[in-house]
Chains A and B, each alone.
Chain A
């Protein structure tokens, strides 16, 4: 066997690539992974992004709440409209009986 007079090759420190995508969703969804949430909390930039995300969710919830309230009001008004003709019908029936 012959050796080759060449120097050793050292790559130096390089970031490790992760091939399996099972880890990726865990990082994307911090709610499912408390560990990654903690890690993000340590990073100011990630913390700001998480804060923005929460703000967006709160805005959406407020919109949904307003829609529910307006829908309730609409249903109530519809209910009132239904009750008026019923009452009228009852009154008419009574009138007929009286006649």
Chain B
């Protein structure tokens, strides 16, 4: 670069548009798919969701055949619903992340057969085996009302909830909601900045991992006095959730453009 180009007199006013990060928070090893202890008394740790996966080759009846039990379950895909996860500021004190997803599981049976299960679309309450699409039962759905049984957890100002979302009477997604105080952002966010019309957020989901354990055979009620043989499988899902809040900024500098 020549001396004349380096001269201060050649500098010009340059306006730069950028996004200023107001605060960031990373939640590590968040369990987004769990089940509360039965009886409504939550214990200190989250329990895996118990899935009663229908055995291969069994049909519901008063004395059904056992069929072939589940050998192992693998997570093929976790599909995130469009426009999710999303962030909501509640007043000036709390922030909420809402995350909707569905799961695609690959099930291997003892007889060597494989099946693909889509949850929660093919999930049903224990005692209601309605239609051939049902592939698994869960206590996340009430056998009495047929609606979702929300799983809740409150610990040190963090509030978590897992429920199911239905669209047109079809279970379409699991919904995980995490509510936390705004002062957990690092650095702390000035309440005035929350009124900024350019306030935006970005959420990063990373490091998704799961645990699946085949537990035991289970003769599940299928309604109207019939039963169906299933295999109880414990399934739990973890991931890291990082959220950033930012605002638009115009910065004016003195310098040279290339």
Binding site for B on A (CB under 8 A): 1-4, 6, 8-20, 22-23, 35-36, 39
Q: Note all chain B residues with C-beta closer than 8 A to A4.
A: 75, 78, 208-210
> Distance (Å) between the CB of A23 and the closest chain B CB?
7
Q: Tell me, yes or no, whether B246 is within 8 Å of chain A by CB.
A: yes
> Is residue B89 contacting chain A, with contact meaning CB distance below 8 A?
yes
Contact residues of B between 221 and 258, Cβ < 8 Å to A: 238, 245-246
- B86: A residues at CB distance < 8 A: 11, 14, 17
CA distance A23 to B91 in the complex (A): 8
Q: Which of B171-223 contact A (CB under 8 A)?
A: 192, 194-195, 197, 199-212
Q: Give the interface size bracket for B toward A.
A: 35 or more
Closest A residue to B98 using CB positions: A17
**For chain B, what secondary structure do more than half of its interface residues adopt (helix, strand, loop), or is it mixed?**
strand
Tell me whether B195 and A19 are in contact (CB under 8 A).
no
- The contact sample of 9 A-B pairs, CB cut-off 8 A, is A4-B209, A8-B207, A9-B80, A10-B202, A10-B204, A11-B203, A14-B201, A17-B87, A18-B194
Besides A9-B80, A14-B86, 14 new A-B residue pairs in contact (Cβ under 8 A), listed by A number:
A1-B238, A4-B75, A4-B78, A6-B208, A9-B204, A10-B204, A10-B205, A13-B202, A16-B87, A16-B199, A19-B91, A19-B96, A22-B91, A23-B91
Which B residues are CB-close (under 8 A) to A10? 202-205
* Chain A proximity mask over B77-93: 1 for CB below 8 Å, otherwise 0: 11010001111111110
Whether the pair B200, A13 counts as a contact (CB closer than 8 A) is yes
